[in-house]
Amino acid sequence: MASSELAQPGVPNFVDLLRSFPGQARLALGTRGVLWATFAGIVGVICCVVAFADIALSLHRSDVDPQRRQARDVLALDHASRSLMRSILANTAASEGAGATRVAGEPWRNFTESLRTLCRDYKVAPQTALASTCAAQQDFVDRLGRKIRSFDTHRGPIDAAALRELLQLRDEITELSLSTTRAADHMIGRLVDDYATALLVLTLSTTGFICAGLVLILLVGRTAMDYHAQWRLAADAAQQAGASRDTLSEVIEALPAGIVVYDAGERLIMCNSVARTLTPALRRPDAIGRTYSALAHDSAHALEAAGMGPQPVEEWIDRFRSKTTERTRQTEDGRWFDWSEKGTASGLTVGLRVDVTDIKRHEFALEKARAEQEHARASYQSLVDSMVDVAYTLDVETGQFTFVNAAVSDMFGMSPEKFVGTHFLELIAPDSVERVRRQTTREYDPSDPGTFARFSMVAAGGAVRHVEVRARRWRDEQGRVVSTGVIRDVEERVQLEQRLESEMIRLRSIVESGGALIVLVDRALNVTMVNSGFTALTGITAADAVGRSLQEILPCPLNPKRTKRSRFAVRRRDPSGRERLIAITATPATDADGAVSSIMLLGVDDTERREAEQALYNAERFATVGEMAGTMAHEISQPLQVINIACASALDEFALASERGGRPNMTTVQSKLERVAQQVEQASRIIGDLRAYVRGTSSDTPEPFDPNEAVRRAIDLTDHGVAEAGMTLQERLDAQLPAVVGDAGRLAQVLVNLINNARDAGGRTISIATGTVQENGRTFVRIAVEDSGPGISAEILPRLFTSFVTTKPSGKGTGLGLRICRRILEEIGGRISAANRAEGGARFEILLPSQ
């Protein structure tokens, strides 16, 4: 209802309806009408009972569904057995591999599923092959299935016993199918007879039911005519009652208070819109008809869900039933109402809810003012006086301070009593007056988050000091806009910030003027800062680099979890297109937990130094080539001698054939030529190894290779020189080495240098061994070169891989060999170390990451 909700008559329960039915029927039909209606009803019921009983008996006798399911399953088994036998016969007649299908596939699966269904759902006649098969169904399926699968696999004749068992079972299935068909015919005939009998009974019952219905229709028609006359009289009375009800509803809705009415059973029968606004439970569609107790519990749950705390539900119910006391209660929207109930002479309970919000607000305001007056004098002043910052209250309209704490004496040299009444603009430094005026003259907004500003004020003695002001505006009880905040002296912090900014500018100038590449990245390897040296070497500006991943702009082997300093070299083309070699030192910075927080990369253009260093090393390498000339002469003279002997033998064969007047022995000549080809290939390989060593590389791009191949190449180039020095070169190579990525020629160059250094050190033996080691979950190839010489002195060992450090006599070495060796290995991700052996001599170990 739009204006109010009135209670509707409740629906009577079933027991009351049965109890009142005889009286209602006698009132509507009269005594004679009741007798006729009773007689007609009895006749109709008897006809229906007879018809349904006959139909139920006929359905019970027919038992159609089980017969149909049995017939369907028997026919399915018959069809599956026929398909199985046809598949067996077809595969027996078909030649092997031609036109044959698998019997153990679809035919056998359909047969076994149909047999399992029939044996599970129906009783099979005993003393038959089908009954024995059903009794041992799983054994039959497993035994015959193996034979059929064997028949599919070997294409031999199926076992006679199995075929005989299948044929016997096939005959039983055929007989069962015929008997099922005969049973179905018999059932259909019986259904026809039952149908005729049921039709006759149903016809007679329908005739009796129709007659009874006609009697009842006549009685109801007469009653309807009488009821229509009574209805017209009742309609007039209802219209008058409705008008009175609408008038009452309008009056109740017009009242500013909430009205609720409960019946004698405490069930709600009416409420107006004001009451629904106050009580959440009354807004429910099913509120009318519910008891006060249920509505009170619903309202309490809603208020508790809104955060208003536990509600005294039982107290509400007791007050409602006593109908003597009033209670003030707050609603969800914050308003206050007086709750009261009064009983009527007819047993109704009328509830009245009067709005007392204004009265309650005045009470709260008085209590708050009284509490503020009592508490402010005792605690507020002592609290704010203990603050180091100046706390103030400012009347925004007049611009004058109305309250300050004791800290104003230290900052402005005035007592709080003298400071109150001062205009705030009088204390602002001239350079900050306009900015402060713009901020303080803005319109008041309740949602304003407040003011946080830094400016200059004139402090004690006329000194200008920087301050921070945090303030917030609000309206007091008189409606005036008041600003409350604190003033903090930040002069020392500002001076420190200015010094820090100056130091940062100076540090930036140092970073920019160093000429080196400097990059700062975070723990995720994202660039946070670069200098002009980075831009000069890469052509990428700081704006384009900051925020991007380091691997996008400067790919390098940097581990973000490594907490120690690392060094590596990268190659990159500068803006002019020239390839530059940049030597980078990565220095991580860690936090309090030891985790890497940032990494500083310092890069130096090492191109010219590396080129000069490489030139010196090439000169030393060319000198080594001169030393290996004897080795090359020895290595090449052996193939040439073999070629000479083979050619002489071939010529002798041709000469003998010419003297005999016949053809030479082509097998002998061919073997001599094959030997010549082998020796030419060996000489070419030796020359190629020497050429690769002289060139310094044998491949332009890194690629996987066998480390043992580089070791053998180095041995071939040095074994003659080692032998001439009276030393023995031993090798222990692991045949199962994994491949590494790099340049086999450059690795051979490193090994040649190490073997020659071992030869120059003296001693009797040099050994080279290969193997694998595990480090941090990765596999590394290990190559060790050892000698039995005097070892390396303790003074030189820590600096052995530094440029121009050598153990050789003056004029024999440049001190760049081991330095270049370490650089070559670092470029392919490896490393080299040196140590003295406990039994005497030096040991150099190379570790290369596997592919």
- Write the burial class of residue 545 (CB in 10 Å: 0-12 exposed, 13-18 middle, 19+ buried): buried
Which range (18-22, 490-494, 512-516, 726-730) has the least confidence? Answer: 18-22
Q: How many CB atoms sit inside 10 A of residue 637's CB?
A: 11
- Average pLDDT estimate for 666-686: 71
Query: pLDDT confidence of 8, banded at 50, 70, 90?
Result: very low
- Average pLDDT estimate for 444-450: 80
Question: Looking at per-residue confidence, does 422 or 239 come out higher?
Answer: 422
β-strand partners of 352: 259, 340
- Average pLDDT estimate for 750-777: 89
* pLDDT value at 170 more than 60: yes
Residue 835: the pLDDT is 92
Which range (233-242, 619-628, 781-790) has the least confidence? Answer: 619-628
Do strands 327-330 and 703-705 pair parallel, antiparallel, or not at all (unpaired)?
unpaired
Closest of 113, 111, 96 to residue 152, by C-alpha: 96
**Quick one: how far is CA 714 from the chain centroid?**
54
Residue 363: the pLDDT is 75
By the 8 A CB rule, do 175 and 183 touch?
no
* pLDDT value at 846 more than 90: yes
Residue 819: the pLDDT is 79
Residue 325: the pLDDT is 57
Q: What is the pLDDT of residues 604-619, one digit of tens each?
A: 877 776 666 666 556 5
> What DSSP assignment string belongs to 612-648?
HHHHHHHHHHHHHHHHTHHHHHHHHHHHHHHHHHHHH
Residue 845: the pLDDT is 95
* pLDDT value at 843 more than 90: yes
Dihedral sign for Cα 757, 763, 765, 768, please: negative
User: Helix (H, G, I), strand (E, B), or coil: what is residue 561?
Assistant: coil
Amino acid at 87: S
pTM for this entry: 0.30
User: Helix (H, G, I), strand (E, B), or coil: what is residue 324?
Assistant: coil
Measured between alpha carbons, how far is residue 513 from residues 135, 388, 509, 832 in Å? Answer: 101, 45, 6, 35
**Quick one: how far is CA 277 from the chain centroid?**
47
- Average pLDDT estimate for 756-770: 89
- Average pLDDT estimate for 306-326: 77
Outline where 734-781 has alpha helix (H): 744-760
Outline where 98-159 has alpha helix (H): 106-121, 129-135, 137-154
Q: Where are the beta strands (DSSP E) in 638-794?
A: 703-705, 728-732, 740-742, 765-775, 778-787
- Average pLDDT estimate for 234-256: 76
Residue 781: the pLDDT is 95
Q: How far apart are CA 472 and CA 828, in angstroms?
A: 65
* pLDDT value at 733 more than 80: yes
Q: How far apart are CA 66 and CA 750, in angstroms?
A: 93
For the chain, the average pLDDT equals 77
Q: What is the pLDDT of residues 368-404, one digit of tens each?
A: 777 776 665 666 667 667 778 888 888 888 888 988 8
- Average pLDDT estimate for 669-678: 73
* pLDDT value at 131 more than 70: no
* pLDDT value at 620 more than 60: no
* pLDDT value at 42 more than 50: yes
Q: Contacts from 278-281 at CB under 8 Å and sequence distance 24+? A: 278/331, 278/337, 278/353, 280/332
- Average pLDDT estimate for 178-203: 74
End-to-end CA separation in angstroms for the chain:
84
Residue 4: the pLDDT is 40
* pLDDT value at 98 more than 50: no
User: Helix (H, G, I), strand (E, B), or coil: what is residue 399?
Assistant: coil
- Average pLDDT estimate for 637-654: 70
- Average pLDDT estimate for 6-21: 56
- Average pLDDT estimate for 357-361: 76
User: Helix (H, G, I), strand (E, B), or coil: what is residue 229?
Assistant: helix
- Most confident among 294-303, 347-356, 518-527 (mean pLDDT): 518-527
By the 8 A CB rule, do 599 and 518 touch?
no
* pLDDT value at 96 more than 60: no
By the 8 A CB rule, do 763 and 789 touch?
yes
Residue 125: the pLDDT is 60
Question: Looking at per-residue confidence, does 332 or 825 come out higher?
Answer: 825
By the 8 A CB rule, do 405 and 416 touch?
yes
Residue 768: the pLDDT is 94
* pLDDT value at 428 more than 50: yes
Report percent pLDDT > 90 for the chain: 7
Strand order in the sheet with 4-6: 4-6, 268-272, 258-262, 349-355, 336-343, 327-330
Query: pLDDT confidence of 659, banded at 50, 70, 90?
Result: confident
**Quick one: how far is CA 342 from the chain centroid?**
63
Q: What is the pLDDT of residues 575-586, one digit of tens each?
A: 878 888 888 888
- Average pLDDT estimate for 135-160: 70
Residue 95: the pLDDT is 45
By the 8 A CB rule, do 558 and 523 touch?
no
Closest of 644, 768, 637, 746 to residue 699, by C-alpha: 746
Q: How far apart are CA 130 and CA 789, in angstroms?
A: 97
Report percent pLDDT > 70 for the chain: 78
| Residue carrying the six token digits 């031609």 | 98
Q: For 689, phi and psi rounded to 5 degrees? A: -60, -40
Residue 664: the pLDDT is 77
* pLDDT value at 225 more than 80: no
Residue 578: the pLDDT is 80
